[in-house]
């Protein structure tokens, strides 16, 4: 039985008792120290004394991203500023950024949580860990960094970008673990191949990948490319940062939530009512141990499901499925709901295609028009007469893609084949959706 914390093996009843104590303290903390929450409680006609059972949790108000923006920068703090030791924030590309803060205890907890996640993915004390998540206000890089040091890894804080330098350090420092977005690790692997380096020849054995939805087929592509075990990490800055949940390398069939620090719910995003375990819905998190900026029933916008059975790895913590997509990324194509990750799943399953794509949305008259741009792999491109993507063989591939998407995802869309290496590669989060339906172009 391999574990970093004994809490991962607590009985369900013991964990619920522990969570209840954390919940009561958090509810009292925000009511007494955060005016926004006190007003929200009063609008719902409740006080902390009204939370007497798990059913009462549903009386607590939801928190949404716009609440953090409206309380910019520090109006949600539950501690004096002199007790804050770290501040992170979102990019603020759609308005005021969302700001989060951490006390010394918060940082200690975060370090332990992420260390647990790294251990779960296969990392061990003494490993060299190559951290290619972005450093700065984004929580990814520094979040993995604090956990790596807590575990006792020799941490390489390279951040994102400068891919040739990344490869040099991977060859020279011989890390056993790498952390990045899946799209960027794929970029590193392709760049290695272009340099005449076999990705599978490196010292890397474990990858901790997250910060963007990715499919099981993408995992297989990366694992085959590097001869590596690739595990999914989940987190968001509003709740803590990376480490809220982590996939165990033993099973890779769901992410273990850090139940001792976070209470999870899954709700129907339309009715706001809870859905049964095993059914997809919107993830909602309440922090149980945070001091500087606790969060109550935060609506993540992420679609997933949860189960509570003991995992084959022996851990008893709640498991969430891999993120299916985000509510604000969901496409409605002629009345059919589809997430980009679903389209990725079918693309990665076709030998003729590379795992690089873009979805372009535009208006044609009064109708929404959807076009999929997808790269062909080099082997297929080389097989075409005169490398011509207007060849009949390429046209047949377009029809094949359209048929697969229609049969499996129930959507019809125009497909444009692109030559190898023509879709821009990611050095962070990949841009998959380009929406030009309004007068202002936007990309998600």
Q: What is the 3-state secondary structure (H, E, C) of 209-273?
A: ECCCCCCHHHHHHHHHHHCCEEEEEEEECCCCEEEEEEECCCCCCCEEECCCCEEEEEECCCCCC
Residue with tokens 């575990």: 151
Residue with tokens 């955060």: 34
Q: What backbone torsions phi and psi does residue 205 show, to the nearest 5 degrees?
A: -125, -25
- How far apart (Å, rounded) are the C-alpha atoms in residues 218 and 182? 8
Q: What backbone torsions phi and psi does residue 189 show, to the nearest 5 degrees?
A: -65, -40
Give the number of other CB atoms < 10 A from CB of residue 28. 14
pLDDT of residue 437: 74
pLDDT of residue 335: 65
- How far apart (Å, rounded) are the C-alpha atoms in residues 51 and 168? 55
At what angle are helices 182-194 and 216-226 packed, to 10 degrees?
A: 30
User: Token pair for residue 239?
Assistant: 């709740």
Pair type for strands 336-338 and 331-333? antiparallel
Q: What backbone torsions phi and psi does residue 55 show, to the nearest 5 degrees?
A: -65, -30
pLDDT of residue 431: 83
User: Token pair for residue 26?
Assistant: 């958090």
Give the number of other CB atoms < 10 A from CB of residue 5. 17
Q: Are 181 and 210 spatial neighbours (Cβ–Cβ below 8 Å)?
A: yes
Q: Which residues pair with 434 in a beta bridge?
A: 360, 443
Is residue 432 classed as helix, strand or coil in its secondary structure?
Answer: coil
Q: What is the 3-state secondary structure (H, E, C) of 362-426?
A: EEECCEEEEEEEEEECHHHHHHCHHHCCCCHHHHHHHHHHHHHHHHHHCCCCEEEEECCCCCCCC
Strand residue runs (E) in 288-330: 298-304, 306-307, 319-320, 325-326
- How far apart (Å, rounded) are the C-alpha atoms in residues 303 and 335? 19
Tens digits of per-residue pLDDT, 366-404? 667 889 999 999 999 999 988 889 889 999 999 999 999
Residue 176 sits at the vertex; the CA angle it makes with 138 and 220, to the nearest 5 degrees, is 80
Q: Are 358 and 423 spatial neighbours (Cβ–Cβ below 8 Å)?
A: yes
Residue with tokens 């977005």: 181
Q: What is the rounded (10 degree) CA torsion for 134, 140, 141, 143?
A: 170
User: Token pair for residue 227?
Assistant: 């001869």
Q: What is the rounded (10 degree) CA torsion for 95, 97, 98, 100?
A: -170
Is residue 317 classed as helix, strand or coil in its secondary structure?
Answer: coil
Is residue 56 classed as helix, strand or coil in its secondary structure?
Answer: helix
Q: Which residues pair with 336 in a beta bridge?
A: 333
Q: Are 3 and 315 spatial neighbours (Cβ–Cβ below 8 Å)?
A: yes
- How far apart (Å, rounded) are the C-alpha atoms in residues 245 and 255? 5
Q: Are 245 and 256 spatial neighbours (Cβ–Cβ below 8 Å)?
A: yes
What contacts 168, CB < 8 A, 6 or more positions away?
Answer: none
- How far apart (Å, rounded) are the C-alpha atoms in residues 40 and 186? 44
List per-residue pLDDT tens for the chain, 444 residues long: 456 889 999 999 999 999 999 999 999 999 999 999 999 999 999 999 999 999 999 999 999 999 999 999 999 999 999 999 999 998 665 568 899 999 999 999 999 999 999 999 999 999 999 999 999 999 999 999 999 999 999 999 999 999 999 999 999 999 999 999 999 999 999 999 999 999 999 999 999 999 988 889 999 999 999 999 999 999 999 999 999 999 999 999 999 999 999 999 999 999 999 999 999 999 999 999 999 999 999 999 999 999 999 999 999 999 999 998 888 777 777 667 788 888 888 888 899 999 999 999 887 776 678 899 999 999 999 999 888 898 899 999 999 999 998 888 778 889 999 999 999 988 878 888 888 776 443 334
pTM of the model: 0.87
pLDDT of residue 348: 87
Q: What backbone torsions phi and psi does residue 382 show, to the nearest 5 degrees?
A: -65, -25
What contacts 240, CB < 8 A, 6 or more positions away?
Answer: 110, 113, 139, 143, 261, 262, 287, 290
């Amino acid at each position: 039985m391999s574990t970093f914390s004994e809490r991962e093996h607590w009985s369900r009843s013991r964990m619920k008792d522990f969570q209840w104590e954390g919940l009561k303290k958090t509810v009292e903390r925000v009511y007494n120290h955060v005016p926004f929450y006190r007003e929200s409680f009063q609008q719902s006609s409740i006080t902390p004394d009204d939370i007497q059972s798990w059913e009462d949790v549903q009386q607590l108000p939801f928190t949404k991203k716009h609440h953090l923006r409206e309380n910019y920068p520090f109006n949600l703090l539950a501690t004096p500023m002199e007790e804050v030791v770290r501040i992170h924030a979102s990019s603020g590309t759609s308005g005021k950024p969302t700001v989060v803060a951490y006390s010394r205890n918060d940082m200690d907890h975060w370090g332990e949580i992420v260390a647990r996640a790294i251990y779960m993915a296969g990392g061990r004390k003494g490993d060299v860990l190559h951290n290619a998540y972005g450093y700065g206000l984004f929580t990814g890089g520094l979040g993995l960094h604090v956990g790596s040091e807590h575990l006792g890894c020799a941490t390489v804080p390279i951040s994102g970008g400068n891919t040739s330098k990344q490869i040099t350090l991977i060859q020279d420092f011989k890390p056993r673990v790498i952390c990045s977005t899946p799209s960027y690790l794929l970029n590193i692997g392709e760049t290695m191949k272009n340099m005449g380096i076999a990705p599978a020849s490196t010292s890397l054995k474990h990858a901790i990948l997250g910060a963007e939805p990715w499919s099981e087929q993408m995992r297989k592509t990366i694992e085959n490319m590097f001869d590596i075990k690739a595990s999914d990490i989940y987190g968001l800055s509003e709740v803590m940062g990376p480490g809220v949940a982590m996939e165990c390398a033993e099973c890779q069939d769901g992410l273990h939530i850090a139940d001792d620090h976070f209470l999870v719910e899954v709700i129907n995003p339309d009715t706001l009512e809870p859905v049964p375990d095993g059914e997809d819905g919107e993830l909602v998190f309440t922090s149980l141990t945070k001091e500087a900026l606790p969060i109550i029933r935060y609506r993540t916008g992420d679609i997933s499901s949860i189960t509570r059975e003991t995992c084959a790895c022996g851990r008893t913590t709640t498991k969430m499925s891999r993120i299916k997509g985000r509510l604000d990324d969901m496409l409605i194509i002629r009345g059919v709901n589809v997430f980009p990750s679903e389209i990725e799943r079918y693309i990665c399953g076709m030998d003729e295609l590379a795992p690089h794509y873009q979805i372009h949305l535009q208006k044609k008259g009064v109708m929404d028009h959807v076009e999929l741009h997808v790269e062909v792999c080099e082997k297929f491109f080389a097989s075409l007469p005169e490398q011509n993507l207007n060849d009949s063989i390429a046209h047949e591939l377009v029809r094949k893609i359209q048929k697969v998407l229609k049969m499996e995802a129930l959507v019809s869309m125009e497909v444009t084949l692109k030559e190898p290496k023509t879709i821009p590669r990611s050095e962070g989060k990949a841009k998959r959706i380009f929406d030009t339906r309004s007068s202002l172009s936007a990309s998600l």
